[in-house]
Amino acid sequence: MKRRDFLKLLPAIGVYLSSWQELIGRELQEIIGNRPQALTILPGSGRREVSLPVSWDDGVGYVSADRFAKAFDYNTYLNQQKRKLVIYFPNNKVVVSADNPFVVIDSKIYQIPSSCTWNNGVQIPVAQLVPLLNRFTNTRLDFDKSRFYLSAGKRVLSISGMDINSKANGEVIRIHSNKRFRKGEITSDMRNGWLHVDLYGATADIAELKKTRGSGHVREVNVFEFRKLISVAFRLSKEPLSREVYQDQSNGDIVVVLRYKESIAQNDKKEELEDPRPNRKPETEKAKEKDDLSIDKQLERERERWLIDTVVIDAGHGGRDPGAIGVGGIREKDLALAVALKLGALMKRKMSDVRVVYTRSDDRFIELRRRTQIANENKAKVFISIHANANRSSRASGFETYLLGEEKGSQARSVMERENSVIKFEDPGSQKHYQGINSILVRMTQAGFQKQSEHLASNVQENMAKRLRSLNMKNRGVKQAPFWVMVGASMPSILVEMGFITNKHEARILKTASHQQKIAEGIFSGLQRFKKDYENAI
Ligand SMILES: [Zn+2]
């Protein structure tokens, strides 16, 4: 399929994408089987080309985060215990953590589709991380996916902005730079009430820099561009007692410290200027530890956004769609609703910090894609769809948990075909939303949550097995298949097939409230375990 046609499909089915477009490229790459074994980095600025080995996992190419940073000559700090790497980009601090899809850029948290991994250090999914860096840092990288070439983009300017902080005894100006200035490339002098800071070899968006507002003793800012240098000028209310200009080795900032008072009262200490020591050691361990601590504090503040605070329980089928019909006329839609309500009641009682949202709480018809829409609209963090299985053979038995994925094995296929066939109950206008979609697209939409969905599915399956042990029911395990009902869910999603209603024994017990309660308890315990693990990881 042409990329253009592929893209055309997306709005047609209302797939949630926003920042997942990058995956399209990845999936296409996967189709054509292009999995380069090395990433070539052309760091620019006269630095030599570097080749990093790429390891592939589930279609995602990973490279060492540390070696990636070193290729560009960026400093890093590894917290071995927390498996967390801080990369000091020229103007931004980026933190990546193993087994974690969250990337912290300057204390803000972003999620990429796949988790970073660990192999003698943090490994990053490079094709997913680069767009994030381009969007939220001052670094610009051009990534050629087909050849796996990464080069410093042309848009990189060495000066990206500045800010002025007024302290009790003076001013601290930080000019954000990604260029390492050598000795003699930064000079400063006072002329007619203006302090000029000349930066040789620097490049900047002059118009943007000029917008910097004065503060305290800095009354006005002006910037001039010459052939070989950028001159940043500050009009000062009066000449300072002392001034120092140096480059902060940890982040590249050019720091201008203007001291107006020798000392200040003890209780104003915290407002005092930082001690300007141009030759201080760039990255003392203590400073790094402090850095890391503050990152943790910020993480703590931000992680609340990611807590599992809303769960959507989706009772399969309903209304004019009865689902499968089993022994004695037993209907899938009734069993699904009964278990869904029992699960919801359990959650309300034992997981009161979580909001429960039902896609249906009575016998009504709901279109498949409306179900995940409900989940997305409610910003649900987990989507659980409940179903009962059917088979032409009355001997088929057992319970299983599915996540969205390419179908593997003929049994998964038959369940998928049956569950997906219910679109026939939708009106023709709605049905066409599902046409022309293939499993690649299905995979793409959930790839970001694949690992979490897998984790949720295995916990649910394991806990159902525990509850149902005495009944001697067959544990059919965790499987993958492309179910429409989960397409478009932007959260970890599973589909539980709680037993075969075409099996005489299972149909009989599935009807009983006590058995339904056991299934609900199994799903609940699995969810509880998942919630704990997930929230510990963020
Ligand atoms: Zn079903």
3-state DSSP of 271-294: HCCCCCCCCCCCCCHHHHHHHHHH
Which pLDDT score, from 0 to 100, does residue 1 have? 40
For residue 260, give the 3-state DSSP assignment: coil
How close is the Cα of 445 to the center of ligand 1, in Å? 21
- Gap from CA of 350 to ligand 1 centroid (Å): 27
Which is it for strands 60-64 and 75-79: parallel, antiparallel or unpaired? unpaired
Using the mean position of ligand 1's atoms as its centre, give its distance from the Cα of residue 332 in Å.
7
CA 435 to centroid of ligand 1, rounded, Å: 20
Distance 317 CA to ligand 1 centre (A): 6
Tell me, in angstroms, the distance from the centre of ligand 1 to residue 370's CA: 16
pLDDT score, position 18: 34
pLDDT recorded at residue 489: 74
CA of 378 to the centre of ligand 1 (A): 23
What is the 216 CA–ligand 1 centroid distance (Å)?
68
C-alpha 310 to ligand 1 mean position (Å): 23
Mean pLDDT estimate for the chain: 81
Which pair of structure tokens corresponds to residue 223?
């910037």
Please report, for residues 98, 189, 309, 440, 523, the alpha-carbon distance to residue 459 in angstroms, rounded to integers and kept in the order given: 21, 66, 18, 26, 8
pLDDT-derived band of residue 106, with 50, 70 and 90 as boundaries?
confident
- Give the torsion sign (CA, 55, 56, 61, 62): negative
- Mean pLDDT (whole number) for 438-459: 68
C-alpha–C-alpha distance, residues 469 and 472, integer Å: 6
CB 136 within 8 A of CB 125: no
- Among 527, 409, 403, residue whose Cα is nearest residue 463: 527
> What does the block give as tokens for 300?
């703590």
- Res 300: pLDDT: 56
Q: Can you give the three-state secondary structure of 341-375, one letter per residue?
A: HHHHHHHHHHCCCCEEEECCCCCCCCCHHHHHHHH
Per residue in 277-317, pLDDT (tens digit) is 444 444 455 555 454 445 455 555 556 667 899 999 999 99
The CA distance from 242 to 273, in Å, is: 12
Collect residues with CB below 5 Å from ion ligand 1.
316, 323, 387, 419
CA–CA distance, 496 with 63 (Å, rounded to integer)? 36
List the one residue out of 21, 80, 71 whose CA is nearest residue 48: 71
The CA-CA-CA angle for residues 430, 434, 439, to 5°, reads 165
Distance from the alpha carbon of residue 18 to the mean position of ligand 1, in angstroms? 29
Measured in Å, residue 186 CA sits from the centre of ligand 1 at 69
Listed range (374-383, 387-396, 442-451, 500-509) with the worst mean pLDDT: 442-451
pLDDT in tens, 314-365: 999 999 999 999 999 999 999 999 999 999 999 999 999 999 999 999 999 9
Ligand 1 centroid from CA 336, angstroms = 8
Kindly tell me the sign of the dihedral angle through the C-alpha atoms of 529, 530, 534, 535.
negative
pLDDT in tens, 135-171: 778 778 888 888 888 988 655 578 888 999 888 888 8
In this structure, the number of other CB atoms found within 10 A of the CB of residue 149 comes to: 15
Segment 234-279, tens digit of pLDDT? 999 998 888 889 888 778 889 998 988 765 555 445 456 655 444 4
Q: φ, ψ for residue 76 (rounded to 5)?
A: -135, 160
Which pLDDT value is given to residue 279?
A: 46
For 434, which DSSP code?
G
Q: Which stretch of DSSP H or E encloses residue 221?
A: strand 218-225
Mean pLDDT of 497-512: 95
What spacing in Å lies between the alpha carbon of 419 and ligand 1's midpoint? 5
Residue 119 Cα to ligand 1 middle (Å) = 40
Exposure of 408 in the CB half-sphere (CA atoms within 13 A): 10
Compute the average pLDDT of residues 510-529: 96
* Residue with token string 């963020």: 538
Is the model's pLDDT at 62 over the cut of 60? Answer: yes
pLDDT the model gives residue 168: 80
In the reported structure, the alpha carbon of residue 388 is separated from the centroid of ligand 1 by a whole-number distance in angstroms of 6
Measured in Å, residue 396 CA sits from the centre of ligand 1 at 16
pLDDT of residue 413: 79
Six-digit token string for 507: 């149909």
Measured CA to CA, the distance from residue 14 to residue 29 in angstroms comes to: 23
* CA 398 centroid distance within chain: 35
For 56, phi and psi rounded to 5 degrees? -105, 135
Bin 461: left if φ > 0, else alpha if -120 < ψ < 50, else beta.
alpha
